[in-house]
Structure 1
Amino acid sequence: MPKHLLPTTVVGSYPQPEWLVDRAMLSKSVPRTRMHEMWRLPARHLEEAQDDATVIAIREMERAGIDIVTDGEIRRESYSNRFATALDGIDADNPAIITSRNGQQTPVPRVVGKIARGRPVELTDMEFLRRNTDRAAKITLPGPFTMSQQAGDEFYKDDEELAMAFAEAVNAEALDLQRAGADVIQLDEPWVRNNPELAKRYAVKAINRALQGITVPTVVHLCFGYAAVVPGSTKPAGYSFLAELDDTVAEQISIEAAQPKLDLGVLKDLSSKKIMLGVLDLGNSEIEPAFVVADRIRNGLKHVPAERLVVAPDCGMKYLPRAVAFGKLKAMCEAAATVRKEIG
């Protein structure tokens, strides 16, 4: 792990190459069920192609100056669907349909039996990442509360019981990822803000169960949704579920702050945590100058001491053009270096 102040990282995803995925198809949604048709290569060549694209993502993060890299989530169609649909108890071939408040219908995993992790899902991803970088390595998993909200339950008939079943599956996976050399393990829990009343009942309990026995640094990531899918004009100015995360066992809380221009005064409610602060606006296709990003870091330091601040983009970068993603990361790393020098 990096020893210097203000280490840089990514939330998880990095743009997948056009030769690997149909990016036009990808841009239309964040799939909850499998979207095999997104991949441009036949199954017999897909794993090798994903390996090659993963190495590219790792190298670009390293070249940009990122201290704590990921595998770019190159093998995933979305941050959550690959893990969620691989679990026992899920009928992956016959999805359920969830209708949103505005009438939009989304296929989601159908829960038809006891949720269990019958086999590792991301273990080979972590092993590949560990073999291909000597930097600190982070891997991400969908959080149990979020997966429970993205599923059609026909078995448990109890929201909390379903979330805790997902938590046990996540925990089994996380323990394997830790043994495989993960330096940081992150849970993506954006849906705690969508249903804060339900989250207040049991999200912290589910997160803590998912992280039970994990001794490497852990992160819980919150955001308002991918900028490519959720316009900045519709994003709220604050989180409806944030202070509660101070009660989790996670070491760090990751927040989207740049695009929504979040009032960082809310960080006072997370006094026991390190903050992974979003300082790159992913809704803007322009590459921010390093001095703009440096000002965002300095603003963070008004609320969080440097030893508790980790510098990151707002969210995953998979929907950005690759050149833009790289440019933004490079500017972020340059900004962090500048501020690091200022604080000695």
Structure 2
Amino acid sequence: MKTLLPTSTAGSLPKPSWLAQPETLWSPWKLKDQELTEGKQDALRLSLYDQLQAGIDIVSDGEQTRQHFVTTFIEQLSGVDFEKRETVRIRDRYDASVPSVVSDVDRPQSVFVEDAKFLRQQTDKPIKWALPGPMTMVDTLYDDHYRSREKLAWEFARILNEEARELEAAGVNIIQFDEPAFNVFFDEVNDWGIAALERAAEGLNCETAVHICYGYGIKANTDWKKTLGSEWKQYERAFPKLQSSSIDIISLECHNSRVPMELIELIRGKKVMVGAIDVASDTIETPEAVADTLRMALQFVDAEKLYPSTNCGMAPLSRRVARGKLNALSSGAQIIRKELFG
């Protein structure tokens, strides 16, 4: 029987301290070689266990095998030189030293498929797998070859589509493309960003999602949010075109943000992953607070299309806090199910 209001996380979960430094993005691995391979698999199993214990309906790998949601994918591609670094402005928010595109980009072999197969062996639950979106990948590099953000995005879309088809064949039920850049580069989103996203999802029979948020709870992001005023209306720039796109699910940030809930009306008809958990705070939500967010969302999205989720990934949080938030998400969704369906 189909689960109503199926819960999931937007992406990452904290890594165990024996694998990488806790509560830190880009944290280097503490293991090497075969020990690292086994350690990643152990962490993936633990991450899955935490999700199952909390009653999460659509599970993921918690990104346990990746250092970063974008870079770990790019590291496996040819045409990108990680030694040749340049400083660029990431999403118009902060400067970062990034690798350079020096020749045609390609994918010599699959990146996450073995990890996805491993996760599929561990559970019968529906699996969601996150990939970086083409525009966000472009925004994380210095392009010394194509000299065109659009051209590079189309190349990444082709590569992502190859990977996504293999992930689907490995048993993944939902493939999610992470596009935080959609909240920043509005003209590009509508000119070519959504089209490149559709190219990345081309020919897939599994469900597809795009996750657009205001970022992890790191200082650069929280400082940026303070500049956005009393209402965050960035979504209204991308939502109309996404509503008519081929993407099945739109994943967005809601709880403890200043996003006007009525913007969800712009994607009426789509399935919506509503962020009901704040990842920029150590405060663990009460189930009732989660339920309140979901009740507000139900004014603008039909119950059959509402997917309770987190605002973003939880990698920078402690494992204790992340587990508490998973439990709150699950319990809050259960409150609404009882209200709606008895």
TM over 0.5: yes
Aligned counterparts, 1:51-70, within 5 A:
51-70=41-60
- 1:292 pairs with one of 289, 292, 303: 289
For residues 61-94 of structure 1, give each alpha carbon's deviation from its aligned partner in whole angstroms, at most 9, with x where no partner exists: 0000000000010111111111112112111232
Please tell me the residue identity of whatever aligns with 2:233.
Answer: G
Q: Distance in 1 between matches of 2:188 and 2:21?
A: 36
Aligned counterparts, 1:65-214, within 5 A:
65-99=55-89, 104-214=94-204
- 2:280 pairs with one of 283, 294, 298: 283
Deviation at 1:249, TM superposition (A): 1.2
- 1:270 pairs with one of 267, 270, 279: 267
Deviation at 1:243, TM superposition (A): 2.6
* Structure 1 unpaired stretches of 5+: none
- Matched position secondary structure for 1:224: coil
Aligned partner of 1:39 in structure 2 is 29
Please tell me the residue identity of whatever aligns with 2:261.
Answer: L
- Matched position secondary structure for 1:97: strand
Are 2:324 and 1:327 equivalent residues in the alignment? yes
CA contact (8 A) 1:14 1:73 kept: yes
Please tell me the residue identity of whatever aligns with 2:192.
Answer: Y
Q: Distance in 2 between matches of 1:103 and 1:228?
A: 12
Aligned partner of 2:242 in structure 1 is 245
CA contact (8 A) 1:167 1:210 kept: yes
- Matched position secondary structure for 1:89: strand
Residues 166 and 339 (structure 1), Cα distance of their counterparts in 2 relative to 1, 3 Å cut: same
Deviation at 1:11, TM superposition (A): 0.7
Please tell me the residue identity of whatever aligns with 1:7.
Answer: P
**Where has structure 1 moved over 3 Å in runs of 4 or more?**
99-105, 232-236
Aligned partner of 1:316 in structure 2 is 313
Measured on the aligned residues, the alpha-carbon RMSD in Å equals 1.8
- Tell me the TM-score normalised to structure 1 length: 0.93
Deviation at 1:104, TM superposition (A): 4.8
Residues 172 and 5 (structure 1), Cα distance of their counterparts in 2 relative to 1, 3 Å cut: same
* Structure 2 unpaired stretches of 5+: none
- Matched position secondary structure for 1:241: helix
- Matched position secondary structure for 2:127: strand
Please tell me the residue identity of whatever aligns with 2:287.
Answer: A
- Tell me the TM-score normalised to structure 2 length: 0.93
Q: Distance in 2 between matches of 1:292 and 1:100?
A: 33
Q: Distance in 1 between matches of 2:19 and 2:201?
A: 33
- Matched position secondary structure for 1:242: helix
Q: Distance in 1 between matches of 2:9 and 2:252?
A: 12
Identity %, equivalent residues: 34
